Amino acid sequence: MKHLKIINLLSLLVNAAAFGTPAVRLLPSHVSTVQSTSRLSPLFVLSADLTNGEELPPVVRSIDAEMARAQRKREKYEAKLRKFENKIEELERKRMKYLEGSTLGQVEQNFSETTARSAVKAMMWRVIAGSVTLVTTLKFSGNFAYALKVVGSDFFSKAFTMFVGERIMNKSSAGRKSGSDSAGRSVAKALIWRLFAICNTLAVCFFISKDFSMASKIAGSDAIFKTFLMVAYERVWAKVEWGKEYQIDFTI
């Protein structure tokens, strides 16, 4: 029976092809097209919303906000990138000017010191000078507590004033033509600083001990030794490249 149905189906197809008979739907009657009763996907809903001008879903608004933040960050980093590119170009021009100047004539390597360099110099000197003051005060007073008071009161006040002095001296380029401080500049700085330091130490010692004779001895002995010590200190720092910002000038 099954074979007979297949043979009849094939004969109908052959007749339709041979005589141009319109094709007949041969599917069983119980098979029908499925009506589209399923819901639209989110993509189609979104498309409909966009065309109808309705408010965007929360997820899309969140994505838009994230895109806006990413755009702002990109603009920020692009601005930084342009800044560094300009800096590199400026340094390249300085480098070329330096190379050209070194072949055309003498290059004067003037420089200035950074704030960090001045701060470190001031604090390190206070550690060294404070140790000397402790020994000197202890020698003349014989009182360790008194010596600690003098050194303690000296430390922060002189560290700050020396830092300020370094920043003021940094505005002058005298003695800075060879890429470092000259010996004359180091001596001048030491003498200027010692004038202030003598007055400071004398005042502190007298305020604590109420003995002008002992205070003058401490300040006087400090002045002689620390002047030479500070010159040596400045000469060491003259060789340190950290914290120097060079300003290239040319003389032909």
pLDDT in tens, 25-34: 444 444 344 4
pLDDT at 6: 56
Q: What is the pLDDT of residue 58?
A: 86
Question: Does position 187 have pLDDT exceeding 90, yes or no?
Answer: yes
Does 35 score more than 70 pLDDT?
A: no
CA within 13 Å, CB half, 198:
15
pLDDT above 60: residue 156: yes
pLDDT higher at 21 or 188: 188
CA-to-CA dists, residue 179 to 94, 165, 175, angstroms: 16, 21, 9
Quick check: 116 pLDDT over 70? Answer: yes
Of 58-72, 180-194, 214-228, 233-247, the poorest mean pLDDT is in 214-228
pTM here?
0.57
The reported pLDDT for the residue numbered 77 is 93
- pLDDT at position 119 is 94
* 160: CB partners within 8 A, 6+ apart: 122
Lowest mean pLDDT of 20-34, 194-208, 215-229, 234-248, name the range: 20-34
Considering 112-121, 134-143, 209-218, the range whose residues carry the highest mean pLDDT is: 112-121
The pLDDT assigned to 37 comes to 41
pLDDT in tens, 200-222: 888 888 888 888 888 888 888 87
Q: What is the pLDDT of residues 76-111, one digit of tens each?
A: 999 999 999 998 998 888 788 777 765 545 545 678
| Mean confidence (pLDDT) of the chain | 77
